[in-house]
Amino acid sequence: MATTVNIIVGSHVWVEDRDTAWVDGEVTKVNGEKIEVQTTSGKKVVANLSNVYPKDTEAPPAGVDDMTKLSYLHEPGVLQNLATRYELNEIYTYTGNILIAVNPFRRLPHLYDTHMMEQYKGATFGELSPHVFAVADAAYRAMINEGKSNSILVSGESGAGKTETTKMLMRYLAYMGGRAATEGRTVEQQVLESNPVLEAFGNAKTVRNNNSSRFGKFVELQFDKTGRISGAAVRTYLLERSRVCQLSDPERNYHCFYLLCAAPPEDIKRYKLGNPKSFHYLNQTNCYELDGVSDAEEYLNTRKAMDIVGISPEEQDSIFRVVAAILHLGNINFTKGKEVDSSMPKDDKSRFHLEMAAELLMCNVQGLENALCKRVMVTREETIIKSLDPDAATTNRDALAKTIYSRMFDWIVEKINNSIGQDPDSKNLIGVLDIYGFESFKANSFEQFCINFTNEKLQQHFNQHVFKMEQEEYTKEEINWSYIEFVDNQDVLDLIEKKPGGIIALLDEACMFPKSTHETFTQKLYQTFNNHKRFSKPKLSRTDFTIVHYAGDVTYQADLFLDKNKDYVVAEHQDLLNASKCPFVAGLFPPLPEESSKSSKFSSIGTRFKQQLQSLMETLSSTEPHYIRCVKPNNILKPAIFENQNVIQQLRCGGVLEAIRISCAGYPTRRTFDEFLDRFGLLAPEVLEGNYDEMTACEKLLEKKGLKGFQIGKTKVFLRAGQMAELDARRAEVISNAAKVIQRQIRTYIARKEFVALRKAATHLQTLWRGKLARKLYEEIKREAAAIKIQKNVRGYHARKTYTKLRLSAIVVQAALRAMAARNEFRFRKQTKAAIIIQAQWRGHRSYSYYKSMKRAGLSVQCAWRSKVARKELRKLKMAARETGALKEAKDKLEKKVEELTWRLQLEKRLRTDLEEAKAQDIAKLQLSLQAMQVQLDEANATLVKEREAARKAIEDAPPVIKEMPVVVVDTEKVDLLTNENEELKTLLKSQEKRADEAERKCAEVQELSEERLKKMEEAESKIDQLQESFQRLEEKLSNLESENQVLRQQALVMSPTKGLSGRSKTAVIQDLQSPVPALKDAAEAEQRPQKALNDRQQENQDALIKCIMQDIGFSGGRPVAASIIYKSLFHWRSFEAERTNVFDRIIQIIGSAIETQENNDVLAYWLSNTSTLLLLLQRTLKASGAAGMTPQRRRSSSATLFGRMAQGFRTSPSGTGLSFSNGGMIGGLDALRQIEAKYPALLFKQQLTAYVEKIYGMIRDNLKKEISPLLGLCIQAPRTSRASLVRGSARSHANAAAQQALIGHWQSIVKSLSNFLKTLRANYVPPFLVRKVYTQIFSFINVQLFNSLLLRRECCSFSNGEYVKAGLAELEHWCYEATEEYVGTAWDELKHIRQAVGFLVIHQKPKKSLDEITHDLCPVLSIQQLYRISTMYWDDKYGTHSVAPDVIASMRVLMTEDSNNALSNSFLLDDDSSIPFSVDDISKSMNQIDLSEIEPPPLIRQNSAFNFLLPRAE
């Protein structure tokens, strides 16, 4: 990749350095093929011209996010770019479609939160900053759009972050393809939660990593047709089995061993464990614990994870029994036995561990000892038992431990797969391969051989993919690429896996011969591959061999190759563990089929691994691959340290440099036409001045410079290796010549400037001297004039003093004379005024006395007349009171009657209860008697049977002589006696049955009687209910009469004496009060008849109201008509005070059905206006019911009747003239409304209405967001125009003008959308408060979208882009000014983040700004994380200026490190707030009073006489 083209004095180059790999410097001398370079570190280096690389001096200070954009795609350029970005905490970098991830060795939670995943969801690959989510999204989108499976290959050495990267990939794929779990955990959750289990049993601490995966893992996520995860599987490759028995300091064994030793005491006691230092398999190193990790907590976490993935507690116990048994196996030591070449356990300690291992494995102790110390050899003739020496027994022990652990690990993987479940119907999958990277240590064994074989295979796949991408790029650009060479490593793969004759085949062959050793194996390799260019033999070793891999030479030690390659299980081990009483252990060693055991006695790990790898490669070949290369920046695992040598080695091992080598074989440098002309247009100005298109201009420029082999694509220029350096050298020469011309002109300018300054100084000196002489003459003239002026002023002063003294004396004399005359005049006037006052007081006293006497006489007459009138009224009121007393007596009688009926009902209930209890007791007694008689009958029958049997036996035993004598008589008497007793018993039974029948009959009679009484009781209850209803109606009537009486009293008190009640009204009132009592008794019947008609009329009115509001009835005077008539109608109908009504539900249903169409903003605005206005009216009118001391019936009756409303009118108004309940008198304004004690339905209606206001508001806001969101994506990045195009003819200027107009057009489209929405909201009279809230949240959304896009896309953080966005923001500011503050409010302030960020992009002289100025003056709102990202991503595409100073960047990094523990402060992205930003109280406080008095009802309502109350007062 090195170049020898145009390296001249002054060129900036990269030279090799032993410490830092590469160091940059400037060429100071060129001597043929040797050059002298002054490095930036201060050294002078002499290097060969073919070993240096040109340096791009115009590379962005923050690096590039895609290394294909580098001007020089070579090793030092790649390294410098990665180091620069890592220093800025940019850990991800693209190389084409390959992602390079550098481990930061610290948590960066802001890079992986849900908000970040949302940003990369659906984004085009390469559009946003490099990220692991972008690779995952590209794979997912390719699978969905193309219907093809994809795979993501994650590689890197131990500690590079492969496992964490895989977790992030799984998280994102679960985010995209996951779904809510209906039963238990979802597939993606189980896959993610299986990681702790696999890490516990498959990860260990190595020199380079505390949690290194010692196996390869390929996770298949299966997706259904809808793109949802439907199944998964985990495939594992080559677990490092030798680690179980062999360790090197300071590494550790697998985590599970240490976790079990730190288990709770009961588990340790059960497994007879102790300190890890006491076990041979763990104490081979001095490392037992990990920093910051608690093994006890990890043990519990692992048990929980095993529960989650479906491993039962019994299976968990079996697994840890096996783990403990392996530890005990390691502590079994052997010594020589009694026989020759035999062995036995060394001591009691070894025998204890042997017994514990047998107990844990549930096998025979003697059988385990024999399996370890002896070997059975089966021949054709006989079976031979061979004893093993101590060394062989130890090897046999380790082989058993490795086999058990390997099979247990395979069982766990299979169990996890079974628990997760696979989808057999899935056609698409995304595989994530987390596999070990290339390894090269001082001692490399069989594991490193297999690992490097895997990486060679993957590297071939990688090379083919990179070459394919190159081909696609060339094909896309339509250039000729047929002569490009492709670097392939097939020869290395043939060396390893080819059959026959490959290393693996020769290894299998050596393993099958018992007498083969590692020496014979290596000699075979030497003979076979003696002339192979990829194979070599070290000079000083007989058992080592070296393979030339793509990443470098690796020397392997073949000492243990044969042992590690053998995979068969010793027959004794197989038989012993298959017979274990533990089902888990027996399941790990199932019996081998006879056919397989006869056909093949040997199994090879190498062959099996090759088959697995071949299967993996077939899977990868059937998928679309995506590559992630993880890099570990240092070996001490600390953040902010970048070791060049270490990273270069990993880039070589990871194949990144190999990909660069493939690119360099073709066209490593590719630039778009405008970028190429921007950079090299100055080499041929005449080409730029001609009216050529960009493609023709590029071609003519290259031809003029004499370059050959380049290609012109459709949009890019493709240059061969070295051509970029040649063009840069010529460009540097042109710039150098131009600099010389500038210097010459500047020096001329400086000399002339000095001459002009000297001449100007002489002239200035002369001017100063002449001025001094003039000032001296002026001072003398001024002094003479001052003396004359002083003399004049002194003389004037003396004259004025004399005159003033004379004048004061005259004034004193005049004042004394005038004072004497004034005092005489005052004395005369005082005497005259006193006489007048005395006269006035006497006349007033006389008149007042006469008035008081007349007033007393008039009051006496008036009091007498008023007393007479009041006594007449009192007599009338007493008569009315007596009638009221009669009603109260009737009421008292009814109450007594109700109490008597209630008492009788309770008495009946008690009698019925007593009767049922007596009945139950009688039945129980009869049943007991019946049972006793039955027992007696059974005893009598049994006695009778016994007597008969005794008689029969006696007859049979008696002699024949006396058979006919008294024996017969005696037996007959006994029979008769028993017969009589039986008859008596039957008689007694019949009598008992009769008594039982009689008792049942009585019980039935009692039951019938109780049922009759129950019916009577129910009838009595119904009568009581009727009486209670009548009583309530009477109460209502009585309350009406009381209200009427109160009204008449108040009228009598407020009427003047001259205007008494007319005779007709008096008579009517007296007749009503004296109406007969029987009329009250018929009141209930009279009310029942019109009740139904009243309900029907009310239902008709509600239907009319609903029918009216279903239509768009518009607005009246800026007030919503629908809200007005709904409120007035509900108020008039007293619906707010009703206990039960369905009118509220019907109104809510109408609103809900009207807003179902979420896209119609006009309808949404109409209902937002109505619902918010109605909610305001309810908020200011309704209050929760809190009245106490009055029954609900009494409260309802007092407000529902005419006289009740009249009484309330009297209580609220001073006179009876305001009794009219018309619209004008009731609702003149909100202040005139009284507070209503609302019932539950009204309060529920208010809550539902509040919810609909919030819902409609959110729908309107979200619709506007959806409309402007696509436009924001077009507004954040300006159309690209090159500086060269600015001077290239009129066609180019028109194109730039069109692009400028297109950008402004996007912003104008946003302004148009905002204006249309505002027009819709204003047309529907939406309250300005809600409009302000809508636009405040919309502007906040614009701020979030633009600001996040700015931080995630480097091409947006440019100077010219800042100018474009600033111009667009000016359009928004102008719109806010025109929309007025009434409707926009402080929405403009919501753009503070993007305004300050854009302002920072377009300011000049950024390097001169201090951190304090930036954080306090320029960008006080932005956080340090946000400023740091903008500063590091900034690039000036217009003037070529730099970002802020390096010390400012360093200070920002220090502040970020100090605050790194705060996840919230680490997040540099903004979140969009979609909450509802107001409450009901806010609406009530912000909206003005609404006058509903003059609102015209719609025609449908006006024609209905039931709604006359809605008509204005004039009608």
Residues acting as catalytic residues: 158-159, 163, 209, 212-213, 437, 439
Taking the CA atoms of 816, 821, 822 and 823 in sequence, report the sign of the dihedral they define: positive
Measured from the Cβ of residue 1058, the count of other Cβ atoms closer than 10 Å reads 5
Q: Are 657 and 668 in contact (CB under 8 A)?
A: no
Q: Considering only CA atoms, which of 113, 99, 222, 229 is closest in space to residue 152?
A: 99
Backbone angles phi, psi at 1326, to 5 degrees: -65, 135
Q: Are 656 and 665 in contact (CB under 8 A)?
A: no
Three-state secondary-structure class, residue 44: strand
CA–CA dist 274, 264 (Å, integer): 11
CA–CA dist 1473, 1345 (Å, integer): 12
* Burial 1321-1337, CB ≥16 within 10 A → b, else e: beebbbbbbbbbbbbbb
CA distances, 999 to each of 285, 592, 919, 990, 1005 (Å): 97, 83, 9, 14, 10
CA–CA dist 252, 207 (Å, integer): 9
Q: Are 412 and 133 in contact (CB under 8 A)?
A: no
Residue 1369: Cβ-neighbour burial (10 angstroms; 0-12, 13-18, 19+) = buried
CA–CA dist 406, 573 (Å, integer): 14
CA distances, 477 to each of 69, 127, 418 (Å): 16, 20, 48
Cis geometry, peptide bond prior to residue 250 (ω within 30 degrees of 0): yes
* DSSP-assigned letter for residue 43: -
Residue 850: Cβ-neighbour burial (10 angstroms; 0-12, 13-18, 19+) = exposed
Q: Are 441 and 252 in contact (CB under 8 A)?
A: no
Kindly list the strands in the beta sheet with 428-434, ordered across the sheet, starting from the edge strand earlier in the chain: 92-95, 98-102, 624-631, 150-155, 428-434, 216-223, 229-237
CA–CA dist 548, 534 (Å, integer): 5
Residues 6+ apart with CB under 8 A from 216: 236, 237, 238, 433, 434, 435, 436, 454
* DSSP-assigned letter for residue 242: G
Which residues make beta-bridge pairs with 626?
A: 152
CA–CA dist 1059, 1150 (Å, integer): 54
Within 283-389, where are the H helices? 295-308, 313-330, 348-361, 365-373
* Burial 629-660, CB ≥16 within 10 A → b, else e: bbbbbbeeeeeeebbbebbbbbbbbbbbbbbb
Q: Are 328 and 357 in contact (CB under 8 A)?
A: yes
Kindly list the strands in the beta sheet with 12-17, ordered across the sheet, starting from the edge strand earlier in the chain: 44-48, 34-39, 21-31, 12-17, 53-54
CA distances, 515 to each of 445, 605, 913 (Å): 21, 19, 105
Three-state secondary-structure class, residue 509: helix
CA–CA dist 1255, 1155 (Å, integer): 10
Cis geometry, peptide bond prior to residue 276 (ω within 30 degrees of 0): no
Encoded tokens for 809: 């004396």
Q: Are 458 and 437 in contact (CB under 8 A)?
A: no
CA–CA dist 673, 873 (Å, integer): 112
